[in-house]
Amino acid sequence: MRKFLFVLFACLILSSAFAVNTDWGFITLIQRSSYFVLEEGDHSFSLMNARFLAGGDIVKDLVSVAFQAELDSDAVNILDAKGIYKMNPFQITVGRFLAPYDYYTPQSFAKLDLIEYPILEAYSPFRQEGIMLSYKNDLISSHLMVSNGSGKNSYDDTDKEKAYLLRLDLTPFKGFTVGGSCWYEKYGVDGFYKDSNRANFMFNYKNKLFFFNNQASYIEEEDAADANIYSYAYFSHLTFFLGEKLELLSRYEFTNVNTQVTGGLQTRFTFGVNYNIQGPKAQIAFNYQVNGESEEAKIDNDKAILMFMFIL
C-alpha cells in the first residue's frame, strides 16, 4: 500500500445466471467473474465461479436431493451430491456435501459478506463424503457428522479413517447466535498417521442497521516426528446497511500457522462496498485488501477486487 495511494482500473465482466423452477425442483446456472489489481502491478480478469445447481423433492416434505457442479474448460467437477431425509425437527443428510464446520462453509458463495473467504477458512475441511444428523428448533441448531476424512475429500475418496464433526449453535433471541464446533480426524500421510484436532467459537448479531460477526479457530496437528503443531486464527466482521441497496463492510483477521516458529503470522484488513441492484440477485461488489507484510520479507501484496454478480 505504501507504493501507491490510488488504484485506477477498468472492469469488463460477464456474469450471467439462468434459473428454471419445475414441478419437482429447480435448475440453476450461475457465473461470477472479477477483475483484480495487485499492489505490485499485476492485474487480471478472473472467472471466479461457473456452477450448475439442481435439486428438488423426491417425496414432498420428506425426501429431497441436491446436486452442484463446478464447470471449467476441461471437466465438470462434482461439488455436492446429497440426499436429505426430513423428519422435523431432525434431518439426515447423506452423500457429498459441505461439512458445517464454521460460519461460512455451509453457505453458498453467493451469500458471502465479502468477495473472498476469511483466511482462517484454510482450516475448514470443506466438502466431505459421509452422513450427518441435524436437529433444529427456534433455540438450538446442532450437527453430528461422520465422514471419510483425510483432509478435503475428492469425489472418489474411500478412506478407511474417519473424521467426526460436532457443532452446536444457540439463538437466545432474534438476531443473535453463538456457537462452537469441533473436528477430529486421524489419517495417513507419507507413511505415518496424523492426528488433527480443530475447534471453533462463533457469535454474530444482525438487525436492520448492521451485522457483526466474529469467529476464532484453533487447530492442533502432529508432524512426522509426533510433535504437535499449534495454529490459531480469528476474524471480526462488520457490515452497515445503508438502505436496501448499499452496504459498507470491513473485516480484520489474522492467523498463525505455527505458533512455535517465527514468520507464520498473517494479517489482513479488508474493506468493501456492495451495491445491491436488486437484493442479493444482482450485485456490484468492491473489496480492497491490506495484507500484512512480515519483517523478514517486505513485499507489496495488497489487492483490489471488483466483481459483478447476477443470480435469478
In a structure prediction context, what are the per-residue pLDDT tens digits for the chain, which is 312 residues long?
A: 333 333 323 333 333 444 555 566 778 777 788 888 887 778 888 877 788 888 998 888 899 999 999 877 677 788 899 999 999 999 999 999 999 999 988 888 778 889 989 988 888 888 889 999 999 999 999 999 999 876 666 656 666 778 999 999 999 999 999 999 999 987 766 666 677 889 999 999 999 999 999 999 998 887 666 678 889 999 999 999 998 899 999 999 999 888 877 777 889 999 999 998 876 678 889 999 998 865 444 555 788 999 988 776
Give the residue carrying C-alpha cell 483425510.
150
pLDDT of residue 311: 75
Give the Cα separation of 44 and 224 in Å (integer). 39
Backbone angles phi, psi at 153, to 5 degrees: -80, 150
pLDDT of residue 196: 81
Give the Cα separation of 269 and 236 in Å (integer). 10
Give the Cα separation of 217 and 250 in Å (integer). 19
Instruction: Please report, as a single letter, which amino acid is at residue 226.
Output: D
Grid coordinates representing 107 are 453457505
pLDDT of residue 190: 66
DSSP string spanning 208-256? Answer: SSEEEEEEEEEEEEE-TTS-EEEEEEEEEEEEEEETTTEEEEEEEEEEE
CB 237 within 8 A of CB 117: no
3-state secondary structure of 109: helix
CB 230 within 8 A of CB 222: no
What number does CATH give the domain 98-310? 2.40.160.10
CB 178 within 8 A of CB 168: no
Give the Cα separation of 1 and 270 in Å (integer). 13
- The model's pTM is 0.82
pLDDT of residue 169: 97
- Report which of 197, 200, 203 is spatially closest to residue 220, judged by C-alpha positions: 197
Instruction: Please report, as a single letter, which amino acid is at residue 75.
Output: A
Domain residue ranges of the chain, discontinuous segments joined by + = 98-310
pLDDT of residue 308: 86
pLDDT of residue 312: 66
3-state secondary structure of 117: coil
Beta strands per DSSP E along the chain: 17-21, 25-38, 43-59, 63-71, 76-87, 90-98, 127-136, 140-147, 163-173, 176-189, 192-206, 210-222, 228-242, 246-256, 265-278, 282-291, 303-310
Give the residue carrying C-alpha cell 510433535.
227
Measure Cα distances from 234 to 3, 7, 150, 184, 217 in Å: 28, 28, 24, 20, 6
Give the Cα separation of 207 and 107 in Å (integer). 19
